[in-house]
Amino acid sequence: MKHSASDHTLPRVEFDGFERGLLPVIRHFILSFTEPETQAWQHAFSVATERWGRDQGLVLAHLVFKIIKATLHTRSMGLAFNDPLCVETRHEPTCDERALLRMLHHMRRDETPAARDAVSELTGGYPDAHLIQAGLTLASQFPTNGVGQGQPARRPTLRVVR
């Protein structure tokens, strides 16, 4: 489905900063499947690496790609999404974008019944194993517990102290 606007802005209470940060990455990947000639997947990887650093950004973008691919596989009508480069709608998720973020939100918090409902909403009632696995993989690598608001878990780094 082509770009579509929504009546609602992305609520700050419903999604944390990390989840809100996924929205442009999600949109670029959806665009890359909808209009392959745009090669928007390159922008998705760029956005993710700029926001979360090279190591985590590349991993995160790859996981989001797998989620979008699995989601589109379950939906013959595609996904409604806003233009990732539109300043006016950058914080306005479509119903489909909101359902995808809701699924990830609940998976990251290990809220199984709510995550199951979000998957069902996103896929039209089809519990796709590939989508669930992709979502849970992202959730396990970027959980909310013990992590700063909106930031993925970071590996400890060694530094030379003089």
Per-residue pLDDT band at 7 (split at 50, 70, 90): very low
Q: Return the SS3 of 161.
A: coil
Mean pLDDT in residue range 53-64: 96
Helix boundaries (H) for 75-146: 95-108, 112-123, 129-141
**Domain locations in the chain?**
17-141
Q: Cα(29)–Cα(26) distance, rounded to whole angstroms? A: 5
Considering Cα of 58, then 59, then 60, then 63, what sign does the dihedral take? positive
Largest CA distance in the chain: 60
Q: Return the SS3 of 6.
A: coil
Per-residue pLDDT band at 14 (split at 50, 70, 90): confident
State the pLDDT at residue 160. 66
Mean pLDDT in residue range 33-52: 96
Helix boundaries (H) for 3-154: 17-34, 41-52, 54-74, 95-108, 112-123, 129-141
Count CB neighbours of 66 within 10 A.
18
The pTM assigned to this predicted structure is: 0.81
Q: Is the pLDDT of residue 147 over 80?
A: no
